[in-house]
Structure 1
Amino acid sequence: MTGVRRLGRAHVVALHRYVGLLMAAFLVVAAATGSVLAFRDELDEWLAPELFVARSAASAPLLDPFVLRARVAQQVAPQGRVDALVLDLRPGRTARFPVAPNPDGAGGFHRLDYDEVFVDPHTGAIQGGRAREAIAFTAQQAVPLLYKVHHSLALPGIWGTLLLGVISLLWTLDCFVGAWLTFPKGQPFLTKWKPAWWVKWRAGAHRATLDLHRAGGLWLWAVLLLFAWSSVMFNLREPVFRPVMGVVFPFDDSWRTVPMRPKPVVAPRLDWPAAHAAARLAMQDMAAEVGFAVDREDRLQLDRRRGVYAYLVHSTVDLRSDAGNTAVLIDADTGAPMGRWLPTGGPTGNTVSNWMGALHMAQVFGRPYQVFVFVLGIAVVVITVTGVMVWQKKRRARILSRARRA
């Protein structure tokens, strides 16, 4: 029986070792970039203040949101179009508008070197633009590029996203394998398990490295599991995360399940003022049903492929303080409600998922939690590197042992 247990443990050790080696380089890249991205907004503005600070004085009057959108649309036409209405205008701060290419009349689309513009809300003048998916080593592109590397290794298409999704899934499973390997073989359990939580600094470099790898993983186990599984949510939501979580929690999928139309909507029956009014009514009905209050409006966006307007507000059920994520979808032709998105207060599955996403991206609990996520990224790098160092040390010992026997 003891031999069987040893054999089983040996297989688990091998699994942990080789899965860890497979993940090592990817985890180092993801953890290092994620550590910096904890301060994503602050870093972006520091590197490219011309995109975020309006040229007009903060005391100048703000334009009406409909007038502002119209002015931006005129400036990007005819090659581009603006399918968003920014409602949360702030004095002295630019408004960010997504820009999509228009058809070129020859069966294709115009080529734009940007997909978002930053606009002075006091005058409507475009201060700058950038392509979020572009790979360029400039101050304005630094943070989008860093995010692209973190999310998909900056690989083309969906391959980087899928690759990191698989790595995240392996990381999730390895969290349980690594924790099991720290369990003691004998009794009493807690007494024998206690040394695994501490680092014996005076026991030599190799032992300290092993202890640091093991103890670091134990102390941060719950947080590491959270970040690993939330990474699966971001990269493998439909094939893995949603089916697994759906076994335990109920979900409202109305936000994601509105079907594509046969052809994109070119001229919806509801123009921007009419869509805004209809969306407000739909939001009021949802607020009364769920029991929340709207603090401020955020934006209204047109999804031409699905033929819906998305209306986002900041409400008392939001997790983030800087942006609104409470949302409704309305039909672009009739104004009928088509879907909803509740950060909290809705089905448990949605609430749990939204909390996981907000914790992963350091969007809650203010600056102290941002610092924690920054330090956590460094800790993941240390745990990963020490694991590789332990493997190298044992590999050398095995090679030397075989050489001596030979």
Structure 2
Amino acid sequence: MFKNIRHYGVCLHRYAGLMMTLFLVVAGLTGSIIAFYDPLDQMVSPQLYQVSESDKRLQMIDPLVLRERLLAKYPEIQVQWVPLKPTDNKAIRFSITPSINPSTGESYQLTYDELFVNPYTGDIQGKRMRGKISDGIENLIPFLFKLHYQLALGQVGAYLMGVIGLLWTIDCFIGACLTFPRKTRQQAAQKEKRASRFIWLKRWLPAWKIRMHSTNRYKLNFDLHRAVGLWTWGMLFVLAWSSVAFNLNKEVYQPVMHFLFETQEMRPEALRQLQPNQHPHLSYAEAKSVAERYLNVYNPQHLRQVQPFGMSYLPKLGVYQYRFVSNQDISSSRGNTRLFIHADTGKIVDVYVPLGKASGDTFTTWIRTLHMADCWGVPFKIFISVMGIVLSMLSVTGFIIWFRKRQAQR
């Protein structure tokens, strides 16, 4: 019985690995680069980000004012997300979506989806279609991000990478189980004894070792695949399951997490207040004032605002989302604490706390933050970059193991 289960496990691990090899190599290599997305993008495209020293002597313009100026100058665009965090003397990057042409009722066709605005003068320093590598070198890092996230194939590629992430998550457990030592008659006879667990661990220990002195290349390749996979198993699982969270969030991740853990959901009475609204009564500035006043007066759930991160309008729900870095965030640079403000009444509809309120959301916050290397500074970014190379190495060594065995069988 055990032999049959192990045989099926080997087959699943082998063929799942073969299916994922190319995708994981691409994801690993691109991930090792985009762990340093912002500094690399600024290095490759300095003309988009750099602000002159003379401009820095001026007072910084409120990002909400910059948004209004953009909308007045370009009626064909929408700016739903507004970054509110200080940009360290760099241009502000606004994400752009097309607005509706009133004469045709259809969306405008845009040749760009990002605008870079000087926060001191309001001048536009550049435009680009994010990830369109044919437009020039300034799209290199965004292209690598799209390659990592969706193979640069749009939504179809995102779903495909989500399926790969799900298969990878399952394969993490199969691969780990295959490293366990096989049962022996002696161990079966001693399984009731307390000492048997130590015997089992002692027999499992070689799986964690690499025979560096071995002259057999196959053994060295096999040890690299098995031992390094065990050493990094926890982080590999985090990367795999968080990939499902990014790419198949509503389809797979949320239902599974809701079944296994407690998660924050908008209250039914709050949901009844919401409906699609394309023309909100409150402006962005008014919604921001409501959020700041609420945080200063009520201090909900002992939240302390460290700094604002950004805000957006969600027309499908008719609410503003105000995001800020709080004492309940892991990252000090990317705020995940959120207030939802009714766009007509100005009432606080709901509060989302990333840590401590619901176990499922705490887990999700951690794995997303770890995947994006958004904590613990440069050392952890280097670690994630190395993990990308390790992932590629594991995929290649797994392919070599299969190829050598197939040659031997022939």
TM-score, scaled to structure 2:
0.89
- Counterpart in the other structure of 2:315: 304
The answer to whether 1:271 aligns with 2:283 is yes
Mapped contact 1:283–1:327 kept (Cα < 8 A): no
Count of residue correspondences: 391
Letter in 1 for 2:159: L
Mapped contact 1:136–1:145 kept (Cα < 8 A): no
Q: 2: distance between equivalents of 1:79 and 1:239?
A: 33
Q: Point out where structure 1 has 5 or more consecutive residues left out of the alignment.
A: 400-406
Q: What is the correspondence of 1:125-144 to structure 2 with a 5 Å cutoff?
A: 125-132=123-130, 134=132, 136=134, 138-144=136-142
User: Secondary structure of the equivalent of 2:137?
Assistant: coil
- Counterpart in the other structure of 1:223: 235
> Cα deviations across residues 180-205 of structure 1 (Å, max 9, x unaligned)?
11111234212211111111131411
Letter in 2 for 1:293: R
- Counterpart in the other structure of 1:11: 8
User: Secondary structure of the equivalent of 1:129?
Assistant: strand
Q: Compared with structure 1, are the counterparts of its residues 209 and 121 closer, same or farther at alpha carbon in structure 2 (3 Å cutoff)?
A: same
Letter in 1 for 2:127: G
The answer to whether 1:33 aligns with 2:30 is yes
The answer to whether 1:48 aligns with 2:45 is yes
Q: Compared with structure 1, are the counterparts of its residues 63 and 351 closer, same or farther at alpha carbon in structure 2 (3 Å cutoff)?
A: same
- Counterpart in the other structure of 1:280: 292
> How many angstroms does 1:283 deviate by?
3.6
Q: 1: distance between equivalents of 2:135 and 2:27?
A: 19
Q: Compared with structure 1, are the counterparts of its residues 65 and 147 closer, same or farther at alpha carbon in structure 2 (3 Å cutoff)?
A: closer
Q: 2:179 aligns with which of 179, 182, 194?
A: 182
Letter in 1 for 2:113: D
- Counterpart in the other structure of 1:357: 368
> Cα deviations across residues 332-376 of structure 1 (Å, max 9, x unaligned)?
111122233322232121111011000001000111111111111
Q: Compared with structure 1, are the counterparts of its residues 66 and 40 closer, same or farther at alpha carbon in structure 2 (3 Å cutoff)?
A: closer
- Counterpart in the other structure of 2:69: 71
- Counterpart in the other structure of 1:402: none
Mapped contact 2:48–2:126 kept (Cα < 8 A): yes
Q: Compared with structure 1, are the counterparts of its residues 228 and 90 closer, same or farther at alpha carbon in structure 2 (3 Å cutoff)?
A: closer
More contact order relative to length (CA 8 Å, sep ≥ 6): 2
Q: 1: distance between equivalents of 2:16 and 2:130?
A: 33
- Counterpart in the other structure of 2:159: 162
Q: 1:106 aligns with which of 88, 94, 104?
A: 104
Q: 2: distance between equivalents of 1:315 and 1:154?
A: 34
Q: Compared with structure 1, are the counterparts of its residues 204 and 302 closer, same or farther at alpha carbon in structure 2 (3 Å cutoff)?
A: same
Q: 1:322 aligns with which of 302, 308, 333?
A: 333
- Counterpart in the other structure of 2:190: none
User: Secondary structure of the equivalent of 1:329?
Assistant: strand
Q: 1: distance between equivalents of 2:265 and 2:48?
A: 35
Q: 1: distance between equivalents of 2:310 and 2:246?
A: 23
> How many angstroms does 1:263 deviate by?
5.7
- Counterpart in the other structure of 2:151: 153
CA RMSD of aligned residues (A): 2.3
Q: 2: distance between equivalents of 1:369 and 1:18?
A: 32
User: Secondary structure of the equivalent of 1:310?
Assistant: strand
Mapped contact 1:258–1:339 kept (Cα < 8 A): no
TM-score, scaled to structure 1:
0.89
Mapped contact 2:51–2:91 kept (Cα < 8 A): yes
Letter in 1 for 2:340: L
Percent identical across equivalent pairs? 38
Mapped contact 2:334–2:374 kept (Cα < 8 A): no
